Structure 1
Amino acid sequence: MMKFRNWRRGVVAVAALATVALAGTACTRPATQQAGESGAIRISVGVDPSYAPFFLAEQEGMFEAAGLDVRIVQTEGGAASAQNVVAGTSEMSGNADSTALTVMAANPSLRALGVYEESTRYFQVVVRPGIDPKSIRKVGVFPGIGLYFTDLYLMSLGLDPATVEHVTTGPPEQPALLGRGDIDAFVSFDPWVGQAVEGGGRVVATSGDFGAKYTQWLVASDGWLAANEKVAAEVFDVLADAAAIVDADPDRAARAVAASIQLDPAEARRTVDQIDFGARDFTDEDIARAEDLVTFFRAQGKIGGSVDTGLVLRRGWLTEHVLGAPA
């Protein structure tokens, strides 16, 4: 399990686990809801188990217990969450690093405040029956991080990505394409990996096997943050507590996810187990990876211009405002 720079969080998590539970019944809100009328903090997230800390905090009333009026806004995922912040229909969002950076390229006023989860196991490589990885000639890819990880994997095998046909497809279509033999492999995540395995495919690697990982960030706009830094810190403080609980008690997290997005608890648990949850500040490695992603996306024509990673990633913010100095 990953060790996070979370100097006081372990004590908080133990206390939270020992004093379980506000049995919350919070409902989800559509992205079109015009909140903010009562000072609510709207946080846009996707609808999959990687957002477990948000769902657990909402289901168990953790935001309310901290005196915060937080409303979790479910979106279709991807760039939509960060775009809600840009549009002003949400104050904050949870986003994967790759997605946040693509939105930041066009909206440099966005700021990432810190990491609340990361994984080297969430993304997996699946090949169809009878295929040796080094014999891959056709891969299914989804834009963004899917393409980035696919090319990293191919290069780790000594294959030139330019010599392998890339079939652009969404994750839900990948298992069927693999089963029909239309593609030899794909890099994706559950439930699509599990579906492909049920159809005869096999997992041959996770992203950590070829030196790749992803992180998720809490994002806000610079203007809102400047006027609401204390509130932002209080939100991230609760999120950090929730992330620590998710990491320590994945069954509890799976129940919260299942209640929030109507997902089978066993499937939610399987996904949660593939992710390391915990709050930490940005590191040199995070900055370097962000710059690599920006370079890759620019070369692919996915973004124009550059992203000032030293500006949009607020390194040190979480330590200063939430975690505190190490003892």
Structure 2
Amino acid sequence: MDTSRIARRRAVLALSACVVVLSLTTTACGGDSAADATSADGKAKITVLRSNGAIFEPLYIAEQQGYFEAAGLDVTIKAGAQDTSQNAPSVLNGEAQFAMTDSSGFLKGAAQDMPIRIVTGLQSATTRTAPTDGLLVKEKSEITSFADLEGRTVGISALGGTIQFICEYLVQKAGGDPSKVKFVALPTTSLTDAATSGKTDAIFSFGPFYAAAQESGLRTVGNGMNDLPGMVQGVLFSSQKYLAANGDTAKKFIDAVAQAIAYANAHPAAVKAIDKKYTQAPAAYIDAHDINYYDKNLDTTVMRTVIEKMHEFDLLDKEPADDAVYWDEAPTVTGAE
């Protein structure tokens, strides 16, 4: 393995260790003071930290449609950290009871033995919808498959996360060597320019930036995360301490979210209205594109593949066991269903 890859692994592990220290420190100082809090009318008070980008729409639908209220919950939705993997300390010290992240963000915490568990999925890669993320290259680029990325530079929004994982996974699946791909982190808003200017040989973009890159003339290669159907893209997690003391409340919360997921899939206009209010995507873009498909289910078979491959690619220090990943009431399924 090349030295740059080893150095990157050490950097990732060092960062993860810092997060663990911060988590344990804040837990000791803060505890779960909000765990048993109730509102004046007797509803269980919950704070949930959402992402700053997307996939949070079911939370607002549950609020708007009264699903939380009907379940006897007083839920406050707040924007969490820009890097959602950094939401763990807030959950561990009781500032929030639930938080969003993606699969890699959660697994990095689980691999460091953080006492957190996934309680429900929000969205997974699926062939039900057209890709909303993917690899992009110049129209005349010699890159026609992920295997062609060997020896090339790929621009991504952050190193060590889900996007790097899916790139490396698809390189290997295509018969290439992922260790021979160089990844560089760039601001999401700069990715398209990096590819068109030749600063990078390819980029992996997502959401409105992916669509804008296509419209600028860049060519797509593959189907992005949809080439691994069932890969979890968004989850809600909580602390073991909170779940052990408040299991009934937690179950009411994830059931209300499940209702909202079903509503979101059936009412795209409601999802688009939320996106117009809480995202920076242009209204015209939101109106012109289909919504993503939401899914509460957590495919444990695909997640195990992600865990094993992330460890193989040196994106995880170790492979957490399933009982260190899921709450026992989480909606898990076996195999792509």
TM range (shorter): 0.7 to 0.9
Q: Retained in 1: the 8 A contact 2:265–2:294?
A: yes
Structure possessing the higher relative contact order (Cα contacts under 8 Å, 6 or more residues apart):
1
Q: CA deviation at 1:97?
A: 1.3
SS in 1 for 2:114: coil
Within the candidate set 140, 162, 186, 1:130 is matched to 140
Within the candidate set 176, 184, 195, 2:201 is matched to 184
2:94 matched to 1:83? no
Separation in 2, partners of 1:178, 1:234: 46
Runs of 4+ off more than 6 Å: none
Could you tell me which residue of structure 2 aligns to residue 312 of structure 1?
Answer: 325
AA aligned opposite 2:60: F
Separation in 1, partners of 2:65, 2:83: 23
Within the candidate set 95, 101, 116, 2:101 is matched to 95
What does 1:4-43 align with in structure 2 at a 5 Å threshold? 36=34, 38=39, 40-43=45-48
Separation in 2, partners of 1:157, 1:307: 27
Could you tell me which residue of structure 1 aligns to residue 117 of structure 2?
Answer: 111
> Residues 152-188 of structure 1: CA distance to partner in whole angstroms, max 9, x if unpaired?
2323443323333322334332112112111121223
Could you tell me which residue of structure 2 aligns to residue 258 of structure 1?
Answer: 276
SS in 2 for 1:50: coil
Q: Retained in 1: the 8 A contact 2:153–2:184?
A: yes
> Residues 20-51 of structure 1: CA distance to partner in whole angstroms, max 9, x if unpaired?
xxxxxxxxxxxxxx994655201111122321
AA aligned opposite 2:325: V
Q: Which moved more, 1:246-255 or 1:56-65?
A: 56-65
> Residues 99-130 of structure 1: CA distance to partner in whole angstroms, max 9, x if unpaired?
11112223431011232321243431211231
2:241 matched to 1:223? yes
Q: CA deviation at 1:254?
A: 1.0
AA aligned opposite 2:112: A
Q: Note the residue ranges of structure 1 that are not aligned, 5 or more in a row.
A: 1-33, 320-327
Could you tell me which residue of structure 2 aligns to residue 236 of structure 1?
Answer: 254
* TM-score where L is the length of structure 2: 0.73
Q: Retained in 2: the 8 A contact 1:115–1:216?
A: yes
Within the candidate set 232, 250, 265, 1:247 is matched to 265
RMSD: 2.8
SS in 2 for 1:224: helix
Q: CA deviation at 1:132?
A: 3.2
2:50 matched to 1:45? yes
Separation in 1, partners of 2:92, 2:165: 25
2:181 matched to 1:146? no
SS in 1 for 2:261: helix
Q: Retained in 2: the 8 A contact 1:43–1:70?
A: yes
AA aligned opposite 1:85: V
SS in 1 for 2:73: coil
2:185 matched to 1:161? no
AA aligned opposite 1:177: A
Could you tell me which residue of structure 2 aligns to residue 72 of structure 1?
Answer: 77
Could you tell me which residue of structure 1 aligns to residue 10 of structure 2?
Answer: none
SS in 2 for 1:48: coil
Distance 1:51 1:175, change over 3 A: same
Could you tell me which residue of structure 1 aligns to residue 24 of structure 2?
Answer: none
Q: Retained in 2: the 8 A contact 1:83–1:103?
A: no
Q: CA deviation at 1:315?
A: 4.9
Separation in 1, partners of 2:250, 2:122: 14
Q: Which moved more, 1:302-311 or 1:250-259?
A: 302-311
2:212 matched to 1:195? yes
Separation in 1, partners of 2:141, 2:170: 15
Distance 1:206 1:72, change over 3 A: same
AA aligned opposite 2:191: Q
Aligned pairs, number = 281
2:300 matched to 1:291? no
Separation in 2, partners of 1:318, 1:289: 18
AA aligned opposite 1:83: P
Q: Note the residue ranges of structure 2 that are not aligned, 5 or more in a row.
A: 1-31, 333-337
Q: CA deviation at 1:226?
A: 0.8
